[in-house]
Structure formats: C-alpha cells, structure tokens
Amino acid sequence: MVDHCPACAHVAAAPLLDDRQPLATLAWPRSEAAARAMPALPLDFVRCVDCGHVYNRAFSYDAVPYGDQPNRMFNAGVGWSGFVRRLVGRALDGLPEAPTVVEIGYGDGHFLAALAAARPGGRYVGFDPHGAQAADDALELRAALFEPASHLPELRPDLIVARHVLEHLESPLALLQRVEAAAVAHDLRPLGLLEVPCVDRLWATGRTVDLFYEHVSHFTTASFGRMLARSGAEVMAVEHGYDGEVVFGLARFGVSSQQRDHAAEAAAWRAAAAAALPTIRAQLDELAGAVVWGGTGKAAAFLNRYGLDAARFPLVVDSDPAKVGTFVPGTGQRIASRDALRGRPDAVVIVPSQWRAADIVAEMAAAGLTARQVLIEHAGRLIDFARDPHPYTREVE
C-alpha cells in the first residue's frame, strides 16, 4: 500500500486505472501453463493532484520477485545506444580525471562499463542485490543495496547514477533525501544522474500499457522535477531522451545550505542539552526542598528530565485551581495551591515555564507571596530570574 505520492509525498490523488494483471516484465514464465497460472495483482493507479505523478496505490514491493530473474532491459536498439552515448558524455562532463562513480541498481552493468571505458582509471562501483557478476576488472560490483549513510562517506563518489531504478521503489524521494542528507553530513558534493521512463504522452495519447505492476511510479516531467527539488539537491538540468519517452536529471547533492544549517543547529542544540543535564542536576542537588511552580506540561517535562523526585522536591504548586489535587506525571507529587507558599519567605521557587515567569512573579506579588529567590532554566543552567540576564523580561499579554 502506497499511501502518499512517491515523488512529492502529497496524499491526495485522483483515480486513474483499476485492474488486475500478472507481473508484466519480471516473471518470465517457462510454460503456457505457468503463464496462465500467474496471479493477478492489483493495479490501483492514481494521479497525485499536486505534482501530477502517477502511481499504483496497491503496489507491494514484496510481490515483485527481483531475486528470481535479472531485470532484463533491451539496450541494443539503435536509439538507445545513441542516447546512452550522449548520456555518458553528459555524466562525465566536469568530473575529475579519475572519478569515483557509484551506480545504484546497475542491472547488467552496461552503463557503468560504458562510463569506465570512456574514462579509464576511475573507480566504478555498482550496487544491485540482483545485478550481474563482474566480467570486467574495471568494475567493482556489489550484491547489496546502496545505503547513503554508510556508502557515501566510504566511497566519496563524484557521480551517483540511478537509471530506471527509481520507478521501481515505493519511496524514491526518500532515497534521494537520504543521499542529500548524507552528502550534507559528510560535506560531499556528488553529481546525480537520474533517469526514469516519462509518461507525459499519456494524457494526449490515452495510452494505458505503460501502467503495469512492476512500475509503482510513472513520472511526468513535472513530477520528476518536483521529486529532485524536494530531495534538497540543486537541480541542474531536466531533459528528455528517446523521443520524450525517458526523462533524466542532473542534480548536485550536498549543496543545500538550509539543510546544512538545520543539521548544524540540531547538533549544537543536542550537545548543549546533553551538557545542561549534569549541570542542572548538580545545581538541583544543592536545592532540595525548593518549591516548583507548575506540575503539568512544560513543568512536568522539567521535573522528569532533571529528576525532581517527590522525596527531595515534595512541594509543587500551580496557578490553576483546576490542577490542584492532581499529580505530576511520572514523579508523583500531589499538586498544591500556590497558597502553600504563604509564610515561607525563605523559599526558593523554580519556575520551569520560563516564558510565564514574569507573570508568576507578578501573581506572587499580587497575592502577597514572597520568596527568597526565583530560578528559571536558561542556556543550560538554573539562573536567578531577578538578577541574571535572560530574554524573559516582559509580562506575557
């Protein structure tokens, strides 16, 4: 079941073709009886109303026996050969003298071999769990899936090729996004050469025979371009070959400054949060008996994250009378009225919800409640709300 658009991740789609058919290209039945006995698989082709992509909602990767037969593609036609020659030239243009090239789903290896022949001296690595065996020392063929997170830093490719692969995957966008994320993480800038069949002609010709089971996805020029853009890669070209029947794209991975910034910001925040944990726990070790203002939501998150157990921090109060008498999730303190602070001018009050601290201080003053010190968590430690610098200076409207 494919519940969202493989190209753009949109969920709404318009119905296109309902049918049941046997596998069309990967089964290779050996007798008439075997051919007639093939199970009919569900075709529920729909069109993404956002990017225009066509996909089979009822597709299941497990129903396709990739391990049984090689995916045979007819490559000897005159038109194909000329197109492949042109593509080899485009792919190698701008690569170093001895490039490292990865091909995802190399199949019979003809394209990788063509690249290696055109630019000898490079490293040519193919990934395909069911690909052909190496017949050529120039190629390094691995019977494995390509895993961007590990294979990108291992091989540091200049070029990543995926031809007639993405239309077979339930989530081609996810694969490209993982390539982009790994390229950003390891500061790599590989070129991508991606190619799929193109169904732009479906709408004008009424053709139905493109829609068979093994191709879960059918790209239009627009949906292919949208997928490349959604991956985060910089799209350099989207062009057609073979009289418009295929569409290919050249894209630069690893150049998204937005993804780089978000990943760097996340890493810095994560490191700061990890450093804050022992700092604040050590501060709390000296603060047993302090009163916590707030027992639900962000306050409950604070009590649980920093381990404010009921033995050391028995008193939790709340501004909201509706919460009084309920218990703090996880740590178990019974939430008391703020009036429990009355007559305790030496109390240290911890306010976990920093953004409400000014309001709470005003509420304490209005109710005639005083405390020795009000603490909030800021920049990885507990600070004095009245004396230390912080951004929570205004009462919340």
Report whether 7 contacts 223 (CB < 8 A). Answer: yes
- DSSP class per residue in 234-293: EEEEEEEETTTTEEEEEEE-S--HHHHHHHHHHHHHHHHHHHHHHHHHHHHHT-TTPEEE
Handedness of CA 53, 56, 58, 60 (dihedral sign): negative
Question: Least CB distance from residue 52 to Zn ion, whole Å?
Answer: 7
- DSSP class per residue in 8-30: T----EEEEEEEEE--SSS---S
Q: With CB under 5 A as the contact rule, which of the stretches 10-18, 74-82, 196-204, 334-342 interacts with Zn ion?
A: 10-18
Residue 16 interacts with Zn ion (CB under 5 A): yes or no: no
Q: Which is nearer to Zn ion, 194 or 315 (CB)?
A: 194
Q: With CB under 5 A as the contact rule, which of the stretches 53-61, 252-260, 287-295, 375-383 interacts with Zn ion?
A: 53-61
Q: Which is nearer to Zn ion, 48 or 291 (CB)?
A: 48
Distance CA 255, CA 257 (A): 6
Q: Which is nearer to Zn ion, 53 or 378 (CB)?
A: 53
Binders of Zn ion in range 22-51 (CB under 5 A) = 48, 50-51
Residue 199 interacts with Zn ion (CB under 5 A): yes or no: no
Question: Least CB distance from residue 302 to Zn ion, whole Å?
Answer: 42
Residue 222 interacts with Zn ion (CB under 5 A): yes or no: no
Torsion of CA 308, 314, 320, 326, to 10 degrees: 90
Strands (E), 78-177: 100-104, 123-127, 139-142, 159-163
Task: Write the CB contacts of 137 (distance below 8 Å, at least 6 apart in sequence).
Answer: none
Question: Least CB distance from residue 4 to Zn ion, whole Å?
Answer: 8
Q: In sequence order, which ranges of 156-210 are alpha helices (DSSP H)?
A: 172-185, 202-205
Task: Write the CB contacts of 110 (distance below 8 Å, at least 6 apart in sequence).
Answer: 75, 84
Q: Pick from 5, 182, 198, 246: which binds Zn ion (CB under 5 A)?
A: 5
76-79, long-range: CB < 8 A, 24+ apart? 79/242, 79/243
Q: Which is nearer to Zn ion, 46 or 48 (CB)?
A: 48
Question: Least CB distance from residue 324 to Zn ion, whole Å?
Answer: 51
Q: Which is nearer to Zn ion, 8 or 64 (CB)?
A: 8
Question: Least CB distance from residue 50 to Zn ion, whole Å?
Answer: 5
Q: Pick from 53, 163, 168, 215: which binds Zn ion (CB under 5 A)?
A: 53
Residue 230 interacts with Zn ion (CB under 5 A): yes or no: no
Question: Least CB distance from residue 246 to Zn ion, whole Å?
Answer: 19
Question: Least CB distance from residue 124 to Zn ion, whole Å?
Answer: 33
Q: Pick from 10, 156, 260, 305: which binds Zn ion (CB under 5 A)?
A: 10
- Count of residues touching Zn ion (by CB under 5 A): 8
Report whether 285 contacts 308 (CB < 8 A). Answer: no
Question: Least CB distance from residue 46 to Zn ion, whole Å?
Answer: 10
Q: With CB under 5 A as the contact rule, which of the stretches 2-10, 123-131, 211-219, 258-266 interacts with Zn ion?
A: 2-10
Question: Least CB distance from residue 227 to Zn ion, whole Å?
Answer: 8
Residue 57 interacts with Zn ion (CB under 5 A): yes or no: no
Report whether 108 contacts 76 (CB < 8 A). Answer: no
Q: Which is nearer to Zn ion, 109 or 249 (CB)?
A: 249
Q: Which helix (H) or strand (E) holds 378?
A: strand 373-378
The encoded tokens of residue 104 equal 């995802």
Q: With CB under 5 A as the contact rule, which of the stretches 3-11, 175-183, 206-214, 228-236 interacts with Zn ion?
A: 3-11
Residue 188 interacts with Zn ion (CB under 5 A): yes or no: no
Question: Least CB distance from residue 219 to Zn ion, whole Å?
Answer: 10
AA identity, residue 301: A
Task: Write the CB contacts of 305 (distance below 8 Å, at least 6 apart in sequence).
Answer: 277
Q: With CB under 5 A as the contact rule, which of the stretches 52-60, 92-100, 196-204, 310-318 interacts with Zn ion?
A: 52-60
3-state SS class at 377: strand
Site residues (vs Zn ion, CB under 5 A): 5, 7-8, 10, 48, 50-51, 53
